[in-house]
Chains A and B, each alone.
Chain A
Amino acid sequence: MSEHLLQVENLRTEFPTRDGVVGAVDGVSFYLDPGETLGIVGESGSGKSITVLSIMGLVQRPGRIAGGRVLYKGNDLVQFSQEQLQEVRGKDLAMIFQDPMTSLNPVYRSGWQVGEPLRLHRGLDRPRSLREAVSMFRKVGMPEPEQRVQSYPHELSGGMRQRAMIAMGLTTGPSVLIADEPTTALDVTIQAQILELLKKVNAEYNTATILITHNLGVVAGMCERVMVMYAGRVVEEGPTEDVFANPSHPYTWSLLRSLPRLDRDAKEPLRALPGLPPDLTDLPSGCHFHPRCPFRIDRCVDEYPPLAAVLPAQRAACWVTQAGVDLNRAGAIVG
């Protein structure tokens, strides 16, 4: 087996709640190779954030990693002590978050915050880390970098703050950058700029990127591979082009179908996915998606399908497609 940069194996993360244990991440496996961009999509609550937080060792009590491995360059991060994790976080694995408005500390200057990973991991002193912050600001396209390092977060616009967050993540030259919905809180033009920046960063620094997003258009434009999550599990995974062309899980299929497309007949109605996301404390039997699935067969109600190869490069957890059904064709009949 070839060694991946990051390999997650059967990761399980649980939250004890009053209604029972919630398996927010329920046996997730995937890998990430150097320099590639992996997209993670899925409905709200499907476990995307908890998956990446688990990788970073950032799941807060009462949540806990109940099983699995997170191999980074061959070392299992799940077994790492807090001290060992602190060594890796912010240095090898960097993370940027959804809301740049609240993700920066309001009482410290942005340059101080951006330079902090360098002071923590590279032992730089303050003046040098500040100079580095200025040059990093320049690289991420921050206007007037010398002045901006002296600004407090509230003095920066949303786009500038997200640039600052990206600069902060990149100062130490991490090999993995995790971006959890980095553009959701920004307006459309700024979104495009930030995505462009992430693309540039990925190419220039050869940083492997995990990009979580709700926007399938973003996935199409940014990610070589995509992974679709549903109720804490990976339901489909493969090269973006293949998955978009031949969705092999009904959930992916319906996500793509709910997307407005220019090449489709304008009169053809958009279809939203019917039904509600499942309650994690009371999951449906068999395949968790079966109550909402138009392709359901009897087996789906009884047995959860394994994530298995459906097409050469594509894996999906679906009895129907594993039996050889092409959803695009069958979909035309199901309606």
Chain B
Amino acid sequence: MLWKYALRRIIVALPVLLGVTVITYGLIYLTAGDLVPGLQLNPNLRPEDIARIKANLGLDQPFLVQYLNWLGVPWLLHQVGLWPGAVRTGLLQGDFGRSLLDGSPVMSHILERLPYTLELTSLAILVGVIVAIPMGVVGALRRGSPADHFLTSLSVVGVSIPNFWLALLLVLIFSVGAFQLGLPHLPSGGAASSVNGGDVLDRLAHLVLPTTVLAFGYLAVWSRYTRSSMLESLSQDYVRTARAKGMSERRVVYVHTLRNAVIPLVTLIGLELPTLVAGGAVVEIVFSWPGLGRLALERAVGHDYTTVMGLTLFTAVLVIAGNLLADVLYAVLDPRIRYT
């Protein structure tokens, strides 16, 4: 049942993905012009050289042909004997092309950076959820109490403070300040120390500050959401039924209320998955974290269009995967959702 539902959702997502490729390719085609920056400025290249380079790259073809080449449609046709001659692989074969800056496959860049981003974002999500849910529950159960007011203020602060500012503040306190005072201090950037580093403890130490910054923003939103969702659940008739059965208030809250309250939260978190990659970019840059966000910035600045394109597509896939994951989780948690 569930896998069928997931499969159906994936099939429905395919046209969306295709649309994303058209738009991505179209945008780059329109904005990047020649696609090969500075070619005309090179005095050693004759016009016919430039023409040859472009022909090699397939840039002399009309847009549609270029797009289909990039997708790898000819390669597919070639496999079934409908296309003569050898052709290059494309997107459909998982080939994102090569970087315009260094000529290495875009995919290898992405795969090299991906683990760092995943490490950081999944830890931040985990911390966010683990802290946000109890925060929201406490806020809902003690509505109007000093604890609730404190948590509310904390959330407002969390939403209002820009990531980069909080990052700099934390670096100032826990790296620079602590160092100057001769206290144990946390590293201010990178994923591991280059000297005598790289063991688990060292890597964890590097994760502390960026994770904190990332988690803080999400925690603020999610805890508010949990709070209002809890309040909503607590006012439901089935909670009164639960109380009438004579169970502890603890059981009322954790067995009969929380499960219902977190269902909508799951969707929210699923939708946040991709923005954590993008939103993580600022944090990655401040902390010199070698993840996808920083890669995107470096390559955008360096006019590495193919890599930027690859990253855009990759993010789009993440968006769709996040949605799908949220829907499937939702269906698992809420029996009222039918897998159709």
Interface residues of A (CB under 8 A from B): 56, 58, 82-83, 85-91, 94-95, 97, 99, 102-107, 116-117, 120-121, 152, 154, 165, 168
- Can you spell out 27 A-B residue pairs with CB atoms less than 8 angstroms apart? A58-B243, A86-B248, A89-B244, A89-B245, A90-B244, A90-B247, A91-B246, A95-B244, A97-B237, A97-B240, A97-B244, A99-B237, A102-B236, A103-B238, A104-B241, A105-B238, A105-B256, A105-B260, A106-B334, A106-B336, A107-B263, A107-B334, A107-B335, A121-B246, A152-B335, A154-B335, A154-B336
A53: nearest chain-B partner, CB-CB: B240
Q: Please, which residues of chain A bring their CB within 8 A of the CB of B245? A: 89-90, 116-117, 120, 168
Residue-wise, chain B 33-60 has the 8 Å CB interface mask toward A (1 for contact) of 0000000000000000000000000000
The answer on a CB contact under 8 Å between A120 and B246 is yes
- Complex Cα gap A86–B244 (Å): 8
Min CB gap B239→A, angstroms: 8
- Complex Cα gap A97–B238 (Å): 10
Task: Check B242 for interface membership: any CB of A closer than 8 A.
Answer: yes
- Complex Cα gap A90–B237 (Å): 16
The answer on a CB contact under 8 Å between A56 and B336 is no
Q: Please, which residues of chain B bring their CB within 8 A of the CB of A103? A: 237-238, 240-241
- Name A87's contact: one of B236, B238, B246, B249 (CB within 8 Å): B246
Known contacts A107-B263, A168-B245; 20 additional CB pairs below 8 A are A82-B249, A85-B246, A86-B247, A87-B246, A90-B245, A90-B246, A94-B244, A99-B237, A102-B236, A104-B241, A106-B335, A106-B336, A107-B333, A107-B334, A117-B245, A121-B246, A152-B335, A154-B336, A165-B241, A168-B241
The answer on a CB contact under 8 Å between B335 and A58 is no
Residue-wise, chain B 10-32 has the 8 Å CB interface mask toward A (1 for contact) of 00000000000000000000000
Task: Check B88 for interface membership: any CB of A closer than 8 A.
Answer: no
A152: nearest chain-B partner, CB-CB: B335
Q: A106-B336, A107-B333 are in contact. Are A56 and B238 (CB under 8 A)?
A: no
The answer on a CB contact under 8 Å between B244 and A56 is yes
- Complex Cα gap A117–B334 (Å): 23
Min CB gap B295→A, angstroms: 41
B99-113: which have CB < 8 Å to A? Answer: none
Q: Please, which residues of chain B bring their CB within 8 A of the CB of A121? A: 246
- Name B260's contact: one of A90, A107, A152 (CB within 8 Å): A107
Q: Please, which residues of chain A bring their CB within 8 A of the CB of B246? A: 85-91, 117, 120-121
- Name A89's contact: one of B238, B243, B259 (CB within 8 Å): B243
- Complex Cα gap A168–B243 (Å): 13
Q: Please, which residues of chain B bring their CB within 8 A of the CB of A120? A: 245-247
- Complex Cα gap A165–B336 (Å): 19
- Complex Cα gap A107–B245 (Å): 17
Q: A107-B333, A152-B336 are in contact. Are A102 and B247 (CB under 8 A)?
A: no
Q: Please, which residues of chain B bring their CB within 8 A of the CB of A85? A: 246
Q: Please, which residues of chain B bring their CB within 8 A of the CB of A94? A: 244
The answer on a CB contact under 8 Å between A105 and B244 is no
Q: Please, which residues of chain B bring their CB within 8 A of the CB of A106? A: 238, 260, 334-336
Q: Please, which residues of chain A bring their CB within 8 A of the CB of B333? A: 107
B249: nearest chain-A partner, CB-CB: A82
B286-313: which have CB < 8 Å to A? Answer: none
Residue among A58, A85, A86, A165 with the most chain B CB within 10 A? Answer: A86
Min CB gap A6→B, angstroms: 16
B242-269: which have CB < 8 Å to A? Answer: 242-249, 256, 259-260, 263
- Complex Cα gap A116–B260 (Å): 18
- Complex Cα gap A85–B244 (Å): 10
Min CB gap B329→A, angstroms: 13
Q: Please, which residues of chain B bring their CB within 8 A of the CB of A116? A: 245, 247
Min CB gap B236→A, angstroms: 6
- Complex Cα gap A88–B335 (Å): 31
B236: nearest chain-A partner, CB-CB: A102
- Complex Cα gap A85–B241 (Å): 15
B204-246: which have CB < 8 Å to A? Answer: 236-238, 240-246
Min CB gap B237→A, angstroms: 4
Q: Please, which residues of chain A bring their CB within 8 A of the CB of B242? A: 105
Min CB gap B265→A, angstroms: 14
A91: nearest chain-B partner, CB-CB: B246
Residue among A99, A105, A168 with the most chain B CB within 10 A? Answer: A105
- Complex Cα gap A82–B250 (Å): 12
Q: Please, which residues of chain A bring their CB within 8 A of the CB of B336? A: 106, 152, 154
- Complex Cα gap A89–B237 (Å): 16
- Complex Cα gap A250–B335 (Å): 51
The answer on a CB contact under 8 Å between A58 and B236 is no
- Complex Cα gap A95–B246 (Å): 11
The answer on a CB contact under 8 Å between B238 and A58 is no
Q: Give 5 closest A-B pairs by Cβ, nearest first.
A: A90-B246, A89-B246, A90-B245, A102-B237, A105-B238
The answer on a CB contact under 8 Å between A105 and B241 is yes
Min CB gap B316→A, angstroms: 33
A121: nearest chain-B partner, CB-CB: B246
- Complex Cα gap A106–B337 (Å): 11
A98: nearest chain-B partner, CB-CB: B237
Residue among B241, B263, B333, B334 with the most chain A CB within 10 A? Answer: B241
A101: nearest chain-B partner, CB-CB: B237
Q: Please, which residues of chain B bring their CB within 8 A of the CB of A105? A: 238, 241-242, 256, 260
The answer on a CB contact under 8 Å between A97 and B335 is no
Min CB gap A210→B, angstroms: 13
- Complex Cα gap A79–B260 (Å): 33
Q: Please, which residues of chain B bring their CB within 8 A of the CB of A86? A: 246-248
Q: Please, which residues of chain B bring their CB within 8 A of the CB of A91? A: 246
